[in-house]
Chain A
């Protein structure tokens, strides 16, 4: 049995670990709140952009599907896969579930005789892919704690120019969608080509009844030109939303992971306290027996 001193040292070290995990949980909770606020702040902009895109697409007429970002390539040979992970770990299955889903998609793509082209944001994703021999063509790190719009634009620029130049024939994104602080859902979306259904399908604006009279809108420049610049912005917003959701999910996942780590440390401390009491009792018993034996030998 371990001595009292050994057990006391172990208890002290578990208490230190518990202090750290509790602090990390508190930090994650604060950052989660901020991340949630940023998702809420983006929503009006994203909705308005989608409405504008839809309006421009309706007025641009039948030519829409020929625009570079909406036109499906005749032959699909190279598929871009963007994995959105975190720069840091200690967040439960947050990073590994994205990497697993990405690798599975990569295998499927290869099975269809196509070539996956990897992109990753977050150090965890970049290093995992590199380790497995899939060095990413685009690696974006150092911002997953607080992604800015410029970060999303950098990623979107690489993907859209790759798609337009014919180096990529389809682009998919895999990220942790934010459901609640306790739940993250692995979400997979097709970023490019943008499908007509995505732009025209979601008719959520009640004020714009499709069969009602619609005011003639003056476009500067014309509707197709505006749509041509709106579409890359649409991709940027989709990526930005994914980055923000992933950040919120990361903090949620870390908060949950750290809470259970603190609880586990607490349980271990309780067990060790019991063990220490037993060790102390054993030492006392031992001493009494020695005293008694000594006294008996004198009689």
Chain B
């Protein structure tokens, strides 16, 4: 059964990557996975790095590897702001593995509890999430 549709807009600092009507948006907030359908109540949530799925229909799904960001749902318009949104097919496993390692080394070198340690942890989690998406995509 066709669902009601709503507009989803995905923006990054480099520009708009997606702006179309879809049936469902699936992503992950700091609290857990979330699926947004049309007429969802107004929401503002913090997003974790994960695979962002935009369902044009049940079978036609657009996927992005998404960095940290925010999703706002209001008046049947979903706005996703993320630092990066990459086509999973374009992820480079070797480079991501290197990023995970670099972040791990930086995390070990940083003073525990410092801003630098938090930064290294954030970079590592993002690279690990992208790596997991890349493993699924290839």
Q: Which of A's residues lie within 8 Å of B, judged by CB?
A: 38, 41-42, 44-46, 48-49, 52, 55-56, 149, 153, 157, 160-161, 164-165, 215-221, 223, 225-226, 229-230, 237, 240
Could you jot down 30 A-B contacts, CB within 8 Å?
A: A38-B14, A38-B15, A41-B13, A41-B14, A42-B13, A44-B11, A44-B15, A45-B11, A48-B72, A49-B81, A52-B70, A52-B72, A55-B72, A56-B44, A149-B13, A149-B14, A161-B114, A164-B115, A215-B41, A215-B74, A217-B42, A218-B42, A218-B43, A220-B45, A220-B46, A221-B46, A223-B44, A226-B44, A226-B45, A237-B13
Q: Does B58 contact A (CB under 8 A)?
A: no
Known: A52-B44, A215-B41, A217-B44. 18 other contacts (CB 8 A): A42-B13, A44-B16, A45-B11, A45-B15, A48-B81, A49-B70, A149-B14, A215-B74, A218-B43, A218-B44, A219-B43, A220-B29, A220-B31, A220-B43, A225-B46, A226-B70, A229-B46, A230-B70
A218 touches B41 (CB 8 A): yes
Residue of B nearest to A229 (CB): B46
Q: Which residues of B contact A157 (CB under 8 A)?
A: 115, 119
CA of A240 to CA of B31, assembled, Å: 29
B43 touches A45 (CB 8 A): no
The listed residue (B12, B31, B42, B81) touching A221 by CB distance below 8 A is B31
Contact with A along B64-92 (1 / 0, CB 8 A): 00000010101000010101000000000
Q: Which residues of B contact A218 (CB under 8 A)?
A: 41-44
Q: Which residues of B contact A229 (CB under 8 A)?
A: 46
Chain A's interface: helix, strand, loop or mixed, by majority? helix
Query: Given A161-B116, A164-B115, A165-B115 in contact, is the A219-B45 Cβ separation under 8 Å?
Result: yes
